[in-house]
Amino acid sequence: MSLDNLARSAYSEDHEAFRQTVRRFMQEEIAPNAAKWQEDGIVPKSIWPKAGELGLLCPTVPEEYGGLGLDFGYNAIVDEEGSYYGGAATGFSLHSDIVVNYIISYGSEEQKREWLPKMVAGEVITAIAMTEPGTGSDLQGIRTTAKKDGNHYVINGSKTYITNGQNADLVLVCVKTDTEVQPAYKGVSIVLVEADREGFKRGRKLDKIGMDEADTSELFFEDVRVPITNCLGEEGKGFIYLMSELPQERLSIAVSAQTSAQKAYDMTVEFCRDRKAFGKPVIDFQNTRFTLADLKSKLQVGWAHLDWALTRLLAKQLTPEEGAAAKLWHTELQWETVDKCLQLHGGAGYMNEYPIARMWRAARVTRIFGGTNEIMKELIGRKL
């Protein structure tokens, strides 16, 4: 099984050379430990500096801040190889594809010099805290506040479903710096909170249906004081910043979803060739062949669309609606693929010792995070 037989149009020879480094890391460092990390319920922080040393973290960071100054295509390759060969939700994509972009795009010079080199090296793990117990996709409705007190903000509130929550050293927290202004989105800001600040507390590592190794947590802020200089960009512009970065975030989800679907398909073809029923391989039954043929056709279309979207993003032309459509389509394809592939495994598919079972459980959340697929349809529909 390999991704190498796919003819990709979005990548250069340099991208593909980088892929080999990423693949070795995933095969040697991630895959052998994935089962243990799932059992432990967390990916150890010790793996991050190893990834950083090879340039796998935040490849888009400019060289002046310790990065490689590469394009998002390198991030996408890390996502693809991690989904196909790694088999564990490491939290790298949240850190490299989402959080770092906010600091690159909106951070002060001081913030960039303080945090970017450490993020590239894996010395600092980051998270972004948007969702609250009562607020999901509607970020204008957040209740966590940051009130000015002299030259500090005092932050109070709680967040939930936060990726990298237990491991994070730095959290970008979405807060209301103005609770009275209308429209409400003008009161949203993003504030950097270091994990060693007094009053910052980590709650439970949440018990999920799948992605058991993924560090998904509650976070609490009780009179957390941070300097006003910890505000990311301009006060009150947080919502605009969040919306402007969503196309890349959603394309990142689409990349991993497409690759996960391909992995499930490839494993299932192999399984159906080996498994026998009524004296012949399962793949010799017409139903099996037709199901796999249908999935193969959709995967072929999916890769073509993904390369189109990546090319658009690299040219800074991918619109929010196109990013939403990519997230919607590829996660729906992922779910269809893993569900039908599990069915073709028969009873074995329901056993956690088979990778397809873990992939099926993990796939369920991709239609929820990054904005639910219902919200994706709403966003696309508004522009009709």
Contact assessment for residue 91 and residue 167, using Cβ atoms and an 8 Å cutoff: yes
Query: Which pLDDT score is estimated for 238?
Result: 95
Residue 10 — pLDDT band, cuts 50, 70, 90? very high
The rounded percent of the chain whose pLDDT value lies above 90 is 91
Pairing verdict, β 276-277 and 188-194: unpaired
- Examine the pLDDT at 207 and tell me if it is beyond 60: yes
What mean pLDDT, rounded, does the chain reach? Answer: 95
Q: Give the residue from 302, 291, 350 showing the smallest Cα distance to 326.
A: 302
Rounded to a whole number, what is the largest CA-CA distance in the chain?
A: 79
* Cα–Cα distances in angstroms (integers) from residue 153 to residues 6, 149, 156, 195, in the given order: 51, 6, 10, 15
Query: Which pLDDT score is estimated for 6?
Result: 78
Helix (H, G, I), strand (E, B) or coil at 130: coil
Between 2 and 240, the more confident residue is 240
125-162 confidence digits (pLDDT tens): 999 999 998 776 677 789 999 999 999 999 999 999 99
Residue 171 — pLDDT band, cuts 50, 70, 90? very high
Partner residues linked to 129 by β-bridges: 173
Give the whole-angstrom CA distance, residue 157 versus residue 238. 17
Contact assessment for residue 49 and residue 120, using Cβ atoms and an 8 Å cutoff: no
Q: Determine the distance from the C-alpha atom of residue 104 to the mean position of all C-alpha atoms in its chain, rounded to a whole number.
A: 18
Query: Which pLDDT score is estimated for 137?
Result: 66
* Cα–Cα distances in angstroms (integers) from residue 337 to residues 247, 275, 295, 363, in the given order: 24, 19, 7, 10
Pairing verdict, β 188-194 and 126-129: unpaired
- Examine the pLDDT at 246 and tell me if it is beyond 90: no
Contact assessment for residue 127 and residue 99, using Cβ atoms and an 8 Å cutoff: yes
Give the whole-angstrom CA distance, residue 265 versus residue 3. 12
21-67 confidence digits (pLDDT tens): 999 999 999 999 999 999 999 999 999 999 999 999 999 999 999 99
Q: In the chain, what are the domains?
A: 13-124 (1.10.540.10), 127-236 (2.40.110.10), 240-382 (1.20.140.10)
Contact assessment for residue 325 and residue 376, using Cβ atoms and an 8 Å cutoff: yes
Residue type, 49: P
Pick from 153-157, 202-206, 327-331: least confident = 202-206
CA torsion sign, 64 to 68 to 74 to 80? negative
E-strand stretches of the chain: 126-129, 145-149, 152-163, 170-176, 188-194, 200-205, 216-227, 276-277, 280-281
- Examine the pLDDT at 111 and tell me if it is beyond 90: yes
Query: Which pLDDT score is estimated for 3?
Result: 78
Query: Which pLDDT score is estimated for 160?
Result: 95
Query: Which pLDDT score is estimated for 141?
Result: 81
- Examine the pLDDT at 318 and tell me if it is beyond 90: yes
Residues identified as active-site: 249
Classify residue 219 by burial, with Cβ atoms within 10 Å: 0-12, 13-18, 19+. Answer: buried
- Examine the pLDDT at 1 and tell me if it is beyond 60: no
